[in-house]
Amino acid sequence: MFSSSAVQQMKPIRLLFFLIFLAVLGAACARLPWVGEKAPRPGDRYYGVASWYGHEFHGRSTANGERFNMNALTAAHRTFPFGTRVRVTNLRNGRKCVVRINDRGPWIRGREIDLSYAAARDLGMLNTGLEKVLIEVLSVN
């Protein structure tokens, strides 16, 4: 039916199609932050639970490539674009601070935002660890 040379020539073509298939499949499976979700807009408000992280991550790379500085007013959010600025209000004590999203997380169910040590300090939540918060989008990068 096929000569051995024809079969040998088909192997690279099969490999090429297989690699193209894998690339298309990988692109289809990649989850972009806004797939099926509404992009945040200034003025949007979200309620949820905040946690914080600090010492053990200080100096490590964040998801956007920056070095994590626990003394900067930054935060991690699963979907907000990097550079988004949000006002976080601690609903227990009314304290507020503005943070910039520069990392991804939190990866624990039921948590909406992961704040830097400095932000948690400003919100008065260092001892409690978790607080119910209001997140107001101020600007989207």
pLDDT band at 13 (very low <50, low <70, confident <90, very high): confident
CB atoms within 10 A of CB 115: 26
Domain that holds residue 65: 45-139
Give the DSSP letter of residue 61.
B
pLDDT, position 31: 42
Is 44:123 a contact under the CB 8 Å cutoff?
A: no
Q: Are residues 97 and 120 in the same domain?
A: yes
Backbone phi, psi, residue 39, to 5°:
-65, 140
Which CATH number belongs to the domain containing residue 115 in this structure?
2.40.40.10
Mean per-residue pLDDT for 72-89? 97
Q: Is the pLDDT of residue 16 over 80?
A: no
Both structure tokens of 54: 């600090």
Is the overall model pTM greater than 0.75, yes or no? no
